[in-house]
């Protein structure tokens, strides 16, 4: 590769990054549509393999997605809303329990000062919650009164499925067209890397989403069986944050322990909650992750956290959408360049290392 071509590629990458940054608000519906099209393409291909025309397969997938979203709004959203309201309504009762049980325990066994004014905390917290409700209501009123915000929201709501339909219908042609633009000298290497990226992204996005959904349902079902009132809320939160390995387990079990103690005041429920999460974690490690994800991703939990926070800081919501796919792709390129480096003269061979050690 000549020096001019290298600078040309480097400049193209810089311009692409600047364009994503400058157009982040505009790109949100297009990136969302592209992500959904990528996730749904294997399902369309499977239907197409059964002699169903591509357009009809796309329409069938749209009806499947519509059924899923309608089911969520009919069954899960109202239930989750009820759980959130129940949580906020129980906050004063939680503070009373802390005052009557936790504070005396801390004072007796850990020598905590008896000057803790829980009533003052309760009063301020209740007032702040009321103010937060008024503030949220004012924000919603302001947003509702803004015709531009409503128009923008409705435009995105319509634009996402439209763009997704056309991208999903022409997905194979788009991929083929991009491949034809590659310089022939680097096309084999790029196509190999793209295939590896597709495996990693497919494993991570489709697999991890399925693991998160299944874990959330298992957590919620288990907590519901032991009669935890906030079972759905805790289960869904633990499922969502389980995108980082073990973080969902830690957050979920701590939240469930607190909810169980505040609801039942019985230490046995700590054991019940622990049993639920241990069973869920066993199912995840032995069945869900090997089935849906496998071992092809190679993203360390710290890398996942850093990628999400970096994406949010640099590009906002668009950055959150792009963070994990970009990180997964970067891991493919890092492994490729590591292999090239270890095969280069700069890295050296075993004989050279032995010579250096002997000297």
Residue 258 has pLDDT above 70, yes or no: yes
180-209, pLDDT tens digit by residue? 777 777 778 878 888 888 877 777 777 878
Is residue 243 within 8 A of residue 212, CB to CB? The reply is: yes
Q: What is the pLDDT of residue 223?
A: 92
Helices (H), 265-349: 268-283, 289-292, 301-342
Q: Give the separation between CA 186 and CA 179, rounded to whole angstroms.
A: 11
189, two tokens: 């290497």
Nearest to 322 by CA among 42, 11, 17, 65: 17
Nearest to 202 by CA among 210, 212, 190, 191: 210
Q: What is the pLDDT of residue 130?
A: 53
How much is the average pLDDT of 154-159?
77
How much is the average pLDDT of 24-31?
76
33-85, pLDDT tens digit by residue? 888 888 888 889 999 999 899 999 999 998 888 888 888 778 777 777 777 77
Is residue 55 within 8 A of residue 41, CB to CB? The reply is: no
Q: What is the pLDDT of residue 110?
A: 62
280-301, pLDDT tens digit by residue? 989 988 888 777 776 555 667 6
Tell me whether residue 255 is exposed, middle or buried, using C-beta atoms within 10 angstroms of its C-beta: 0 to 12, 13 to 18, 19 or more: buried
pTM beyond 0.85:
no
Q: What is the pLDDT of residue 6?
A: 65
Q: Give the separation between CA 105 and CA 110, rounded to whole angstroms.
A: 8
Is residue 221 within 8 A of residue 238, CB to CB? The reply is: no
Output 315 or 355, whichever has higher pLDDT.
315
Q: DSSP secondary-structure letter at 104?
A: H
DSSP, residue by residue, 133-160 = HHHHHHHHHHHHH-HHHHHHHHHHHHHH
Q: Give the separation between CA 267 and CA 125, rounded to whole angstroms.
A: 27
Q: What is the pLDDT of residue 355?
A: 46
Is residue 218 very low, low, confident or very high in pLDDT (cuts 50, 70, 90)? very high
Is residue 277 within 8 A of residue 256, CB to CB? The reply is: yes
The CA dihedral of 155, 161, 166, 170, to the nearest 10 degrees, is 140
**pLDDT > 90: percent of the chain:** 11
113, two tokens: 């000062």
Q: DSSP secondary-structure letter at 184?
A: T
Q: What is the pLDDT of residue 59?
A: 92
145, two tokens: 């009164």
Least confident of 58-62, 120-124, 129-133, 230-234: 129-133
Q: Give the separation between CA 4 and CA 150, rounded to whole angstroms.
A: 48
Nearest to 236 by CA among 221, 250, 220: 220
Output 304 or 357, whichever has higher pLDDT.
304
Q: Give the separation between CA 335 and CA 338, rounded to whole angstroms.
A: 5
Q: What is the pLDDT of residue 296?
A: 56
Q: What is the pLDDT of residue 298?
A: 61
Least confident of 135-139, 195-199, 207-211, 268-272: 135-139
């Amino acid at each position: 590769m000549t020096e001019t071509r290298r600078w040309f590629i480097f400049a193209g990458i810089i311009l692409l990054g600047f364009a994503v940054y400058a157009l982040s608000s505009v790109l949100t519906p297009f990136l969302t549509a592209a992500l959904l099209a990528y996730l749904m393409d294997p399902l369309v291909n499977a239907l197409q393999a059964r002699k169903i025309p591509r357009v009809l397969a796309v329409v069938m997938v749209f009806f499947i997605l519509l059924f899923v979203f309608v089911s969520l709004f009919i069954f899960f959203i109202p239930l989750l809303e009820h759980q959130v309201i129940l949580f906020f309504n129980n906050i004063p009762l939680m503070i009373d329990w802390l005052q009557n049980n936790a504070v005396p325990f801390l004072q007796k066994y850990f020598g905590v000062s008896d000057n803790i004014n829980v009533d003052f905390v309760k009063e301020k917290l209740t007032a702040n919650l009321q103010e937060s409700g008024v503030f949220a209501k004012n924000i919603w009123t302001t947003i509702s009164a803004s015709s531009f915000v409503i128009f923008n929201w409705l435009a995105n709501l319509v634009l996402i499925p439209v763009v997704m339909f056309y991208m999903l219908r022409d997905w194979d042609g788009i991929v083929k067209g991009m491949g034809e633009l590659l310089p022939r000298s680097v096309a084999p290497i790029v196509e190999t890397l793209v295939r590896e990226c597709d495996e990693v992204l497919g494993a991570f996005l489709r697999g991890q989403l399925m693991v998160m959904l299944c874990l959330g349902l298992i957590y919620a079902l288990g907590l519901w069986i032991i009669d935890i009132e906030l079972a759905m809320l805790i289960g869904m939160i633990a499922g969502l944050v389980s995108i980082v390995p073990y973080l969902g387990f830690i957050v979920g079990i701590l939240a469930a322990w607190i909810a169980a103690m505040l609801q039942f005041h019985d230490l046995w429920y700590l054991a019940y909650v622990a049993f639920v999460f241990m069973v869920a974690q066993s199912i995840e490690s032995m069945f869900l992750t090997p089935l849906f994800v496998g071992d092809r991703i190679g993203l360390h939990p710290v890398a996942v956290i850093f990628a999400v926070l970096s994406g949010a800081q640099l590009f906002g919501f668009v950055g959150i959408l792009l963070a994990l796919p970009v990180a997964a792709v970067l891991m493919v390129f890092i492994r490729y360049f590591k292999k090239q480096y270890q095969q280069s003269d700069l890295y050296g061979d075993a004989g050279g290392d032995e010579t250096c050690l002997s000297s």
